[in-house]
Amino acid sequence: MPRRPGGISSSSDYKTARFYLRTETKKTVDHLAIEEGRTGSSIVQEALDYTLYQAPVRLPIVGRVAGGSGLLAEENIEDRIALPGEIAGGASFAVNVKGDSMAPTILEGDLVLVRAQTEAANNQIVIAVFENDGGREGSVKRLRFAAPGCAELRSDNEEYETIPTGFSIIGIVVALILRFR
């Protein structure tokens, strides 16, 4: 699968795993040698053990969420993605983005990593749900406070209107995995 700088492939091919292991082990060796002033061959083994036994975070990929007009966010697990903890950033789940309302920040096909929570700070990108025609729609938007206690959702793409009321936040975006284009 092709990759672009900063992107992650969900495939766990041998070369990727070997590269990750080598890179992370080197970082740990450097930390032990430089920051802790340790020497000797035991630090290489310790670094390798540390890298090998760090369990990756396995996040469920749930439904799709709109970055546009709104698409039903089905709460079924479509797949899972395994990521190193430092990349997962405390995420609870991942969502595929559909639409262009968050362009150029987030594009259709990108995967957002989301930490489940009901509150967010000004200007954070959130996953919000709306009641619409008897169902729930989910959307990825930027939360803005127009006045104290008066929140609204905005798109980064100026062609879309602001959503002033009637939404609930279900999580904040903590990381973005870019789809190769």
Q: Which residues are catalytic?
A: 101, 141
What token pair was written down for 59?
Answer: 């996040």
In three-state secondary structure terms, 36 is coil
Q: Match 């609930």 to its residue by tokens.
A: 168
| 3-state SS record for 93-153 | EEEEEECCCCCCCCCCCCEEEEEECCCCCCCCEEEEEEEECCEEEEEEEEEEEEECCEEEE
What token pair was written down for 163?
Answer: 């959503």
Distances (CA, A) of 154 to 88, 100, 129, 142: 25, 13, 14, 5
For residue 53, count other CB atoms closer than 10 A to its CB. Answer: 7
